[in-house]
Structure 1
Amino acid sequence: MKIKQIEVFSVHLPLIKPFIISYANYPHISSIIVKLTTECGLVGWGESVPDEHITGETPESTYAMIKNTFAPVMIGQNPMEFEKIHDLLDKVVKRAPAAKAAIDIACFDVTGKKLGVPVYRLLGGRYHEKFPVTHVLSIGKPEDMADEAEEKLKEGYTSFKMKVGVNVMDDVKRIKAVRARVGEEIAIRVDVNQGWENSANTLKALRQLEDLGLDWLEQPVDQNDIDGMVEIKSKTSIPQMIDEGLKDMNDMREIIAKRAADKVNIKLMKCGGIYPAMKLANMAEMAGIECQVGSMVESSIGSAAGFHVAFSKKIIKSVELTGPVKFSKDIGDLKQDYIIPFIQLNERPGLGVSIDESILAELTQKSDVIE
């Protein structure tokens, strides 16, 4: 099986409401979609949602990278040879993980379709039967975040991820307000997205949060401050998760050596796709560090890819892949697999996602074909 053609689409995915985190406010999500077609007529879909604050890639640079650099070298390659494909891409460009993820995901999708199996079968088979769906609360006023959490409780959600990271003491008020509203039994995870900057600010907050029963605190300090994470972890009982600070195997090696985190958040856009994500999960498993699969708020394509990784690995204990339920319009149909409060994957080959190309055309800003 050889790759005959690659189409690249720049799309704007419309959000139901703006997505607000410590360093950005997103009115929509800019995504790069890849459609890979083989000589035998099979189609694989991939996606890239870059983040210039984390991977150093923008939507514009990612589109150009795939169109001008990655797609031309992929023509004629066998999409089933994952190791060889990543080696080829790495030799062409040293990093660009989000751009590589789009190619990687499309290759896994088309390979699963060729073999007639879901992607998770290519990764070792299904381990988990279902995962709880976590609702993500964007940064807002304490009472507004508490109101939204209460509303989502009524819809069946049993866990929340709070976005904070604007001001330490204001963030403490936000967290306390949500905990008071939802009660002690509901899971709350707090994601600072580097917003507390350093260990001193973080420890100031944690002194007021110790008794709130938080599941974990995620990336409170700058992504490069691994030593800061070590200090925080040594001085609190609240489990610490690294997200932005984990992009590749070198980062994971340092995290393991320094015991810098209780948990790590693996994202396909940070590491280069499904194949590198599995390598990170294996490294974490050897070190006894629990994993989560998160996202950059991708469409059904990128979200499904993350789910296939998560469902195949015992060491992956949670998922935060909420894109399909945050969009007012999506190019795929994964949303139907969100049966709140759980997500359950279907048994269709490849990613198991059907693409509505009329919606894709409607949301596309520009496109190109490489043969």
Structure 2
Amino acid sequence: MKITEIEIFALHFPLYEPFVVSYCSYDYMPSIIVKMTTDTGHIGYGEAVSDEHVTGESLESTFAVLQHTLAPKLIGESPRNMERIHELMDSLILGVPSAKAALDIACYDVVGKSLGVPVYDLIGGRYHDEFPITHVLSIASPEKMSTEALEKVSEGYRSLKMKVGTNVMEDVKRIEAVRAKVGEDIAIRVDVNQGWKNSANTLQALKKLEHCSLDWLEQPVVANDIDAMVEIKSKSSIPIMIDEGMCGVPQMREIIAKRAADKVNIKLMKCGGIYPATKLANMAEMAGIECQVGSMVESSIGSAAGFHVSFSKKIITSVELTGPLKFSKDIGNLHYDVPFIRLTEKPGLGIDIDETVLKELTIYSEKVIG
């Protein structure tokens, strides 16, 4: 089986409401979809959701890299040869992990379909039966965040992830308001998205949050300050998760060596796709560090890919892949049994693509052939 054609689509996914994190507010989610066709007639889909603040990629740069650099070189390659494909992509260009993730995911989807098996069967088989879904709260006033939190708890959610990362004292009020509103039995995870900048601000916040019974605190400091994470972890009674500070093997190696985090957040868009994500999970397992698979707010395609990795690995104990629940229109049909996710046994990623919606949401596209 050989890759004969790769079509690239730039899209804007509409959101029910703006998605607000410490460094940006999104009125829609930009995404790149790739459609990979092989000489056997099988078709696979992949996705790249870039983030200038995390991977240094934009929608436009990702599209250009796929169109001119990566996709042309994959024509004629077998999508089964993942080690070879990643070595080839890495030899062509440094970094650009979301662009590489799109092609990686499409390869897994098309290979799974050709063999008639789900992607998780290609990377170790199924370990988990289901995962609870965490509702993500965008940054807003304490009143609005706590009200939304209570509404989601009434819908059946048992865990919440709060986006914070503005003024430390204002963030403390947000967290305290949500905890007071939902009670002690609901899990609360706090994601700062680098917004507290340094260890001094973070330790000040942690002292005031000790009574809030948080599951964990995620990426409070700037991404490249691993030493600050070491200091925070050594002085915190709240588990510390690293996200933006862990993109690939070099960072994971440093985190393990310095014992810089209790948990790591693996994102396919940060590391380059399914294949690199499984390597990171294996490294974490050897070091005894629990993992979460998160997302850049991806559609059914990217979210399904993340779930297949999650369901195959024992060391992955939580997921945050709720992009499709935030979109008012999606191109795929990934199904959530809120507040749980349970994958099917359909081949590949296990989702169907609505070509009509894909065409409707596409801003521009390009076809690469041999």
- Give the superposition deviation at 1:332: 0.1
1:217 aligns with 2:217: yes
TM-score, length-scaled by structure 2: 0.99
Partner deviation per Cα, 1:66-95 (whole Å, 9 max, x = no partner): 011111000000001000000000000111
Give every structure 1 segment of 4 or more consecutive aligned residues whose post-TM-superposition deviation is greater than 3 Å: none
Map residues 123-138 of structure 1 onto 2, 5 A cutoff.
123-138=123-138
Structure 1: which 5+ residue stretches go unaligned? none
What are the Cα deviations for residues 93-136 of structure 1, in whole angstroms up to 9, with x where unaligned? 11110100000000000000011000000011000000000000
Alignment partner, residue 12 of structure 2: 12
User: What amino acid is aligned across from residue 127 of structure 1 in structure 2?
Assistant: Y
Find the counterpart in structure 2 of residue 286 from structure 1: 286
The aligned amino acid for 1:112 is G
Q: For 1:159, give the aligned amino acid.
A: S
Q: Distance in 1 between matches of 2:244 and 2:87?
A: 24
For 1:361, the equivalent position in structure 2 comes to 359
| Structure 2: distance between partners of 1:195 and 1:213 | 21
CA contact (8 A) 1:127 1:312 kept: yes
User: Aligned to 1:180, what secondary structure does the other structure show?
Assistant: helix
Deviation string, structure 1 residues 283-330 (Cα, Å, up to 9, x no partner): 000000000000000000000000000000000000000001000000
Q: 1:338 is paired with a residue of what secondary structure?
A: coil
Counterpart CA distance in 2 for 1:62 and 1:104 is 14
Q: Which amino acid aligns with 1:344?
A: R
8 Å contact 1:210–1:236 — kept in the other structure?
Answer: no
CA deviation profile, 1:252-284 (whole Å, cap 9, x unmatched): 000000000000000000000000000000000
Residue identity in the other structure for 1:125: G
Query: SS of the counterpart of 1:339?
Result: coil
SS, match of residue 76 in structure 2: coil
Which amino acid in the other structure matches residue 292 of structure 1? Answer: Q
Instruction: Kindly state the Cα deviation for residue 15 of structure 1 after the two structures are TM-superposed.
Output: 0.5
Equivalence map 1:168-187=2 (5 Å) = 168-187=168-187
Cross-structure match for 1:31: 31
Length-normalised TM-score, structure 1: 0.99
Q: Which residue of 1 aligns with 2:114?
A: 114
Alignment of 1:46-57 (within 5 A): 46-57=46-57
Partner of residue 275, structure 1 = 275
Instruction: Give the 3-state SS of the residue equivalent to 2:363 in structure 1.
Output: strand
Residue aligned with 2:257, SS: helix
The Cα shift of 1:162 comes to 0.0
Aligned to 2:341: 343
- For 1:132-176, what per-residue CA distance to the aligned partner results, in whole angstroms no more than 9, with x for missing partners? 000000000001000000111111111000000011000000000
What's the offset of the Cα at 1:340? Answer: 1.2
Gaps of 5+ in 2: none
Hey, what's the Cα distance between the residues in 2 that align with 1:282 and 1:211? 34
Aligned pairs for 1:312-351 (under 5 A) are 312-334=312-334, 337-351=335-349
- Per-residue CA deviation, residues 5-26 of structure 1 (Å, 9 max, x unaligned), is 0000000000000000000000
Identity among equivalent positions (%) equals 69
Match of 1:230 in 2: 230
Separation of aligned partners in 2, 1:318 and 1:181: 24
**2:296 aligns to what SS in structure 1?**
coil
**Distance in 1, Cα, partners of 2:10 & 2:94:** 23
Amino acid at match of 2:337: I
* Alpha-carbon displacement from aligned partner over 1:212-268 (angstroms, at most 9, x marks no partner): 110000000000000000000011100000000000100000000000000000000
Equivalents in 1 of 2:123, 2:16: separation in Å?
33
The residue that corresponds to 1:83 in the other structure is: 83
Quote the residue 1:204 is aligned against.
Answer: 204
Alpha-carbon separation, structure 1, partners of 2:69 and 2:224: 29
Match of 1:311 in 2: 311
Q: Is the 8 A contact 1:34 1:46 kept in 2?
A: yes
| C-alpha RMSD of matched pairs (Å) | 0.4
In structure 1, distance between residues paired with 2:3 and 2:173: 53
Amino acid at match of 1:258: K
Partner SS for 2:128:
coil
1:352 aligns with 2:350: yes
Distance 2:336 2:215 in 1: 22
Does residue 58 (structure 1) correspond to residue 47 (structure 2)? The answer is no
Provide the C-alpha distance between the structure 2 equivalents of 1:5 and 1:339, rounded to a whole number of angstroms: 35
Q: CA deviation at 1:341?
A: 1.3
Q: Equivalents in 2 of 1:228, 1:249: separation in Å?
A: 19
Letter in 1 for 2:182: V
**How big is the shift at 1:58?**
0.4
